[in-house]
Chain A
């Protein structure tokens, strides 16, 4: 069966520090992968999506970047975090019938 893993579950980081969030998928090959952010009290915003290794599309200009070094690995990064980067980050992969989401990472930048 297909599973998606995201870690860490929670993270508190100081402003200006780097960030690396990892997402891995099991049980499928060549999935489309996505990073979403949910700011407090707001909906989900698509940040990045990837259709294959090394292929990243950015949806919104921002302080974050994404990479896909392996078929089933999707990484969200930042060199220097801003307060506005706080939020709930969700990784997902898609199939014909919809998306499957990871359990999310709650990032608080202080």
Chain B
């Protein structure tokens, strides 16, 4: 099956780190993605990781992939109020259809 699961909400204090978790079921996905959706807007690609990698770092973002457990996480260091948004993980099985998780709403408070 193709199910991608995320927790619905995460609340963090400004300056702390945020960790958003995701589990997926289709091990054939070559790439896994993180998208950000700000209120009332479309989705913006944040980062992606190739399935043969364990970790990818891009400035404040760190993606960890545990392929054995089919677990993907996004860590945002020094979280800012501008990071408040909904974050979607997504996988792309061979069929070239992007399957999204339910999204995690990140709220950053001062």
A interface residue numbers (CB < 8 A to B) = 6, 32, 34, 36, 42-44, 46, 49, 59, 90, 92, 94, 97-104, 106
Please name the 8 residue pairs, one residue from A and one from B, whose CB atoms are nearest each other, closest first: A43-B102, A101-B42, A44-B100, A101-B43, A103-B42, A104-B42, A43-B103, A98-B45
Contact with A46, one of B45, B48, B99, B103 (Cβ below 8 angstroms): B99
Instruction: Give the residues in chain A near B101, CB-CB below 8 Å.
Output: 43
CB contacts (< 8 Å) of A6 on chain B: these are 42
Q: How many A-B residue pairs have CB under 8 A?
A: 53
Count B-side interface residues using an 8 Å CB cutoff.
Answer: 20
With both chains docked as a complex, state the minimum distance between the C-beta of B1 and any C-beta of chain A, in angstroms: 14
Q: A46-B100, A101-B43 are in contact. List 18 more A-B contacts (CB 8 A).
A: A32-B96, A42-B102, A43-B100, A44-B88, A44-B100, A44-B103, A46-B97, A46-B98, A90-B42, A94-B98, A98-B33, A98-B98, A99-B33, A99-B43, A99-B98, A101-B42, A103-B41, A106-B40
